[in-house]
Amino acid sequence: MADDADLVQRLRDEVKRLNAEMDRLESDLERYRTATEDALQQLDWCIGYFTGARLHALSRSLGSNRAYIRRHLMHRPELSMPTGSGQPPERTDREATP
């Protein structure tokens, strides 16, 4: 009987340890996912900037890299290519400083 109780306690302790390890790994995964999303947003900005600067070959290359990262590393669908000048929008009269 005592051996069974010891075994049950050891199994409970192991389950607690494994659950704590899973929580830690899930936290790490979320941090890495957030960092990846942030880096992809920066890459999107760069692609838009280079497109606006008419450096189309460079923006296409970066777009291909972005598509590969999304598709093969993140297992997410591709997005359309960002466009624009990469410059901030012009300020309105209300936003302009006096």
Please state whether the predicted TM-score (pTM) of the whole model is above 0.75.
no
Start-end of H helices in 1-98: 2-52, 56-68
Rg of the chain on CA atoms, in Å: 24
What are the extents of the domains in the chain? 2-73
pLDDT digits (tens, 9 = 90+) for 17-47: 999 999 999 999 999 999 999 999 999 999 9
Helix 56-68 vs helix 2-52: angle between axes, to the nearest 10 degrees? Answer: 170
Distances (CA, A) of 28 to 41, 48, 77: 20, 30, 23
Whether 85 and 49 have beta carbons less than 8 Å apart is answered as yes
